[in-house]
Chain A
Amino acid sequence: MITLFRLIQSLSLLLLLIGAVTAEHTSNWAVLVSTSRFWFNYRHLANVLSLYRTVKRLGIPDSQIILMLPDDMACNPRNAFPGTVYSNADRAVDLYGDNIEVDYRGYEVTVENFIRLLTDRLDEDVPRSKRLGSDAGSNVLVYMTGHGGDQFLKFQDAEEIGAWDLADAFGQMWEKKRYHELLFMIDTCQANTMYTHFYSPNIVATGSSELDQSSYSHHADNDVGVAVIDRWTYYVLEFLETQVTSANSKLNLGDLFDSYDESKIHSQPGVRWDLFPGGEPEGRLRTVVDFFGNVQNVEVENANATEPGSLKEDLAEIARLVEKWQKRDEEYSAILGNSSQQHGENQPSESVRLGSKKTGPTRMAEDNSWGKRLVGLSVVGACTAIWVAGSILGRSA
């Protein structure tokens, strides 16, 4: 009887745990990329900044948002409203504001940097704010916008990222457990071709337009002088801003994708579910804030609880540790007073580095200048020898 009861109890606990484990993610990251520069692409930067504002509103902190802006529209000399960027002709919300953190700007926005960012193949001296620090428990939102074509997206009029490269980058992220679930959104011409090559699991991908379809801008602001937002992004944002009003919203991805209206968007948006475990029915149940919001289940510490590991117990243990160290310090200083000889031997190895430690400048790159000079010298010497030999041979002929 008792064993039966215990069996049932453990079974129910197990079921509960499995339910909890499958839907669990522990952090949220967002990678928001605009890929085009110049004033007439104002709308791409406005797209990205609007998304940036939304994810920040829903709780993702700046440290977990990677914002890539190839140009600075707010400070463009053609901007009639200096220091501001608007995504709507009513100019109600200044997207630039006084609090945005651009992680990659100007010519830092390259295909290489983007792929390095996703796969974390960066130099050691790249600061953490420029890194995607996601792990196996992170939900990642990747939003891209710019000018694209069949299976490519142009970066900065200079280079392009192919759908294959993007798929490989996501594949490597999955291989190294750098995401739990990933939502990929792209607003460009022929956007849906960009996610055709993805092969790693747990990705939901959506794009603004089919193959051979353009993705159109929504409207222009006559005072700014250019289009200020793209259609697909505009309607996605409309959904996010009007329906997903708080970080506790229960609306799911199904609702978001159902809100696409082809007559308004003027192109056929696409969604790819097949990489997601459980496919469309399962993927539709993911809430919008699973990707656009930030999971944060704070744990309030009960000052009166006494179970092991609770605050009170730990405090007592830490206090004991502190006392012990104080005692040790006193003994140590006593020893120090007695004989300075022992000082060097008794000193514990300093493996804890406190803030007071000063670090000097470190060399940025390893350069073997003498070796390089030697190589250069020998190349010059060889060239001279060939020239001399050639001229002698030529004269004799």
Chain B
Amino acid sequence: MTDEKGDSTSPLATASSDSKPTAQRIPPETPEAISTRFLVIATFWAVIIFLGFPIWWKTTSIYRAHLPIQEMVDWADGKTCRPVFPLEIQVAAPGMQSPESQHLLRTTQHALDDLNEFAAHHLRLKLTNETSTAQQTEDSMEVASNGEEAPDTALTVRVIAQDGLVVPKAELHADTTQLDVFYPPSQVPVPSSSNPPLSVFIAEELQRLYGEEKATVAHILSGEKSGLDSVNPQFAESISRRLRRSMKYADTYHLSFSLFTPGPEPSSWDIEAAVQEYLSPLLHAFAPISNFTVDTQVQLYATFSPMAPPPVYDEVEAAWTLKKEDLSAFVNAAEWPLNPSIGNGPTLNFILYVPAPSQAPMMVKENRASSWIVPQWGGVFLLNPPLSPAGKGSNPAHLSRDYLRPAFMTFSHQLLTLLGTPTTPASLPLRLQTLIRIRAASLLLSASSTMGSLARLTESLPSIPIPATVASSVSITLSHLSSTCSHLRSGRFSAALATARVAETEAERSFFEKSMVGQVYFPDEHKVAVYLPLLGPIGVPLFVGLIKELKRVVAGWKARRRAAA
């Protein structure tokens, strides 16, 4: 529209230019053109302010889900939950009258409480009748939680009269959670005695059984270093040694069994049957604590590393010996294909090494041992099979299940050690129960401290995004932590471990959420460098247009005022 008018005015302008060449003037704009331009500029600014700015704000802002920071910090500081370990011990006294056994129970409990120095871990005695005991002993093997409300029975004590004894004697069943206490019939506590010798004996026996567990729990609860002073010194060394060599807790462990041999034989082994027979019972027993996956491999022509000292022939032993200090170089980590990177759990390596016939038998020089543990890594077993008579003596081509028995028994032992099973008491079910309590305590603490780390991270890095999944993981963690705490308080340790495992998994997931990557620090120069090429070309005309328009409006307004005045 304006074009037409412009064209029509130009001849007029050229006509007048003859007389006044310097006074060439642009004709005044029509009011419609001015209002159109005003509208155009206003539209541009409206789009920028009402559309562009919100979009920019929305797309560049970092989503941070709300986290219950204070609650998380409280968990990490141990303010929310003080874990306690009340162990329920059932006492059965089939040979005693009810008042006598009641009295025995009371005095024993009293003696126990006197002996106990560590309040968080205490034993609670409970009288039971004979019939239910047998039933529960069977159950406790599987460490199943019996019922929703009832606490797990840690141990059953059977008090049995036996003739011909002078002092009471205790016998721990190695494959169940049962302790038999035999006493001479003359020592039946009379209700009048306040401190009968039988009670004292039972109390001391129980105290001894749970001594290591108590020390370990105290050590875990009081933190990594400071705990050792409150611990009985006789356990301190064994605890710190165990913590040094055992693996960090994981939900799933990967067990890798490898047969290495420097020659062509043995080239096969009865591994499936061996794992099934010798290992799966143990793995089943560990089921409440961790899951396991297993893989196996056979590697022929596996040589020592060139830097490892070779075995030396010992005339006295008639064997090839390895020095103890050289054992760390035994595994040729560079060339033996040992880390299969399968699954997401940590790998425990178990190596069965069959030496070449020219170097058999092989053993450790110092104590003639044939196996050793590499802390936090796995175990090695030297298997010296009988050489087959064919030819000059060669290794058997196939290792049968019976050959593998000592190796797999040793591997089972190494597995127990590497998973941090305590060494006492001398009953596997009891040790596994202890492990459940230890793991529950350490998982509770580690999940709590992860919560604290996440809370501090959230506050210290304000530019890190926090997706909603993290918030939900945190709330799952916190709820499971509190149920772990209440399970512990009422003595349901299997249930406590189960919830603690969930809490730990969720806590790890929330901390290691992959979208929370702190690669977001941009110095200000970077921001300028990013925005300037974009905003410069757009911004200059916009701002100039805005300023011109404002000037015009102000001028018009002033003119109108002057006209009015």
Contact = CB atoms under 8 A, between A and B. Distances in A.
Interface of A: 9-10, 13-14, 17-18, 20-21, 24, 26-27, 56-57, 59, 61-63, 99, 111-112, 115-116, 119-124, 127-129, 133, 135-137, 161-162, 164-165, 168-169, 171-172, 175-177, 247, 294, 296-304, 307-311, 313-322, 324-326, 348, 351-356
B327 A300 contact: yes
B428 A169 contact: no
A321 B423 CA distance: 16
A147 B141 CA distance: 62
A165 B284 contact: no
Contact of A298 (B373, B457, B517): B373
A230 to B, nearest CB: 25
Nearest to A348: B284
Nearest to B232: A10
Contact of A322 (B278, B324, B367): B278
Given A129-B339, A315-B410, A59 B329 contact: yes
Contacts of B282: 318, 321
Interface in B371-391: 371-377
Given A296-B328, A322-B277, 18 more contacts: A9-B233, A13-B233, A63-B333, A63-B339, A115-B517, A116-B517, A161-B519, A175-B457, A296-B374, A297-B328, A309-B423, A309-B424, A315-B410, A316-B174, A318-B281, A351-B291, A355-B293, A356-B272
Contacts of A61: 333-334, 338-339
B511 A354 contact: no
Contact of B344 (A128, A161, A308, A325): A128
B376 A171 contact: no
Contacts of B339: 61-63, 128-129
The 8 closest A-B pairs by CB, nearest first: A309-B423, A61-B333, A325-B281, A296-B328, A63-B339, A314-B413, A127-B341, A351-B287
Given A99-B335, A112-B519, A165-B521, A300 B367 contact: yes
Contacts of A176: 450, 453, 511
A355 B424 contact: no
A308 B424 contact: yes
Given A302-B369, A313-B426, A318 B364 contact: no
Nearest to A63: B339
Nearest to B347: A128
Interface in B267-304: 272, 275-278, 280-287, 291-296
A168 B424 CA distance: 44
A112 B375 CA distance: 33
Interface of B: 141, 174-175, 224-225, 228-229, 233, 236-238, 240, 244-245, 248, 272, 275-278, 280-287, 291-296, 307, 324, 327-329, 333-335, 338-339, 341, 344, 346-347, 364, 366-377, 409-410, 412-414, 416-417, 422-428, 449-450, 453, 456-457, 460-461, 511-519, 521, 523
A120 B416 contact: no
A295 to B, nearest CB: 9
A80 to B, nearest CB: 28
Contacts of B236: 13-14, 17
Nearest to B240: A17
Nearest to A349: B287
A175 B416 contact: no
A73 B529 CA distance: 34
Nearest to B327: A298
B409 A319 contact: yes
A57 B373 contact: no
A319 B279 CA distance: 10
A321 B431 CA distance: 13
Contact of B375 (A63, A297, A318): A297
A300 B333 contact: no
A26 B375 contact: yes
A124 B518 CA distance: 19
A301 B372 CA distance: 5
A57 B307 contact: yes
Contacts of B291: 351-353
Contacts of B237: 13, 17
21 contacts: A63-B338, A99-B335, A121-B513, A123-B514, A137-B244, A168-B518, A169-B518, A175-B453, A298-B324, A299-B375, A300-B324, A302-B367, A303-B369, A308-B424, A309-B424, A314-B416, A317-B174, A321-B175, A321-B285, A325-B284, A352-B287
Given A63-B339, A171-B460, A121 B372 contact: no
A144 B444 CA distance: 37
A123 to B, nearest CB: 6
Contact of A308 (B275, B307, B425): B425
Contacts of B376: 26-27
A17 B228 contact: yes
Contacts of B233: 9-10, 13-14
A61 B233 CA distance: 36
A129 B341 contact: yes
A335 B53 CA distance: 74
Contacts of B229: 14
Contact of A165 (B292, B296, B518): B518
A56 to B, nearest CB: 6
A97 to B, nearest CB: 10
A298 B374 contact: yes
A318 B294 contact: no
A264 to B, nearest CB: 29
A353 B345 CA distance: 13
Contact of B512 (A9, A120, A299): A120
B228 A14 contact: yes
A162 B523 contact: yes
Contacts of B416: 314, 318
